[in-house]
Amino acid sequence: MPEPVVIGTRGSPLALWQAEWVRTALKRHFPATPVELKIIKTQGDKILDVPLAKVGGKGLFVKEIEEALIDGRVDLAVHSMKDMPAEVPEGLAIGAVPEREDPSDVLISRGGRPLAALPLGSRIGTSSLRRAAQLLHHRPDLIIVPLRGNLDTRLRKLDTDALEAVVLAAAGVRRLGLAQRISEHLDAELMLPAVGQGALCIEIRRADTRIAPMAAALDHPAARAAVTGERAFLRRLEGGCQVPIAGYATVAAGRIRITGLVADVDGSAVIRHCLSGPAEAAELLGIELAEVLLGRGAKRLLSKLTATLS
């Protein structure tokens, strides 16, 4: 019997759904190979009473899993791409980006009301500065309430914390079979998604010749090109998970269209731009987009936020 493939994953319901999806996909391509899951608790899972912006950057939900990958305790890791730092550690690589789920953000509200129908001064729960900044830019009257925990925990807080609504990633809501709870899909013009949102990251050891072709069987070229452009944009801005940066790319007919945004945390200033070009130039376009935003004042906004959080 072939040697088992061990998948490293967080233990939240959504993370386990994602890891199970990868396990099923691997079994479909390589039916003779056993595939096992290993649950690893990350720092982001342990610190639940502090806003993410005050705890650290994107590595909060991946660092311990990457350490297990580096030292051989697991053979590949499954992450939400939006949790991935802009730089992958030495010796590791993104082995596959499967086909992307809906990348948008959704509003789940009391009574199913859309954002425009929420009362003046409504309390909205979100753990994301990106979401908060764009909500406040659109509706400065809203009161943003920091919200931590797994998706089901955040939905429960809609009642327990006297919130009018919460904003979540559509992908997680759909993957957990909760699409019927969605009150409104927030259009990208109003709420530009996070870099990598809706995409999975299958991370491997760069030199692992056994696992690399197995991971590659799950790769979706258009999703990979889109995510490559978005991540290049983020990397050039040196942005972490908890800064008001958004980036979203689409790929069609060999062309990529990528939109980037940097905002002040209170939504008072938003800098946004869009570029398009050949899909094979995704990384260069992402970098160029970042340069455009930096030239239009994004550097000042990001420096201001860094000083606020330090």
**Those residues with Cβ within 8 angstroms of residue 299's Cβ, 6 or more apart along the chain or in another chain:** none
Tell me the C-alpha distance between 52 and 47, whole Å: 9
189 contacts: CB under 8 Å, gap ≥ 6: none
Q: What are phi and psi of 269, to 5 degrees?
A: -135, 130
Instruction: Assess contact for 139 and 115: CB atoms under 8 A.
Output: yes
Check 83, 102, 105, 264 and give the catalytic one.
83
- What is the signed CA dihedral for 154, 156, 160, 166, rounded to 10 degrees? 50
Tokens 């909205």 correspond to what residue? 124
CA 173 to chain centroid: 13
Query: What is the phi/psi pair of residue 65, to 5°?
Result: -70, -40
Q: Is 83 a catalytic residue?
A: yes
Q: How far apart are CA 256 and CA 222, in angstroms?
A: 9
Question: How far is residue 112 from each of residues 184, 187, 193, 288, measured CA to CA in Å?
Answer: 8, 17, 22, 40
Q: Which residues are catalytic?
A: 83
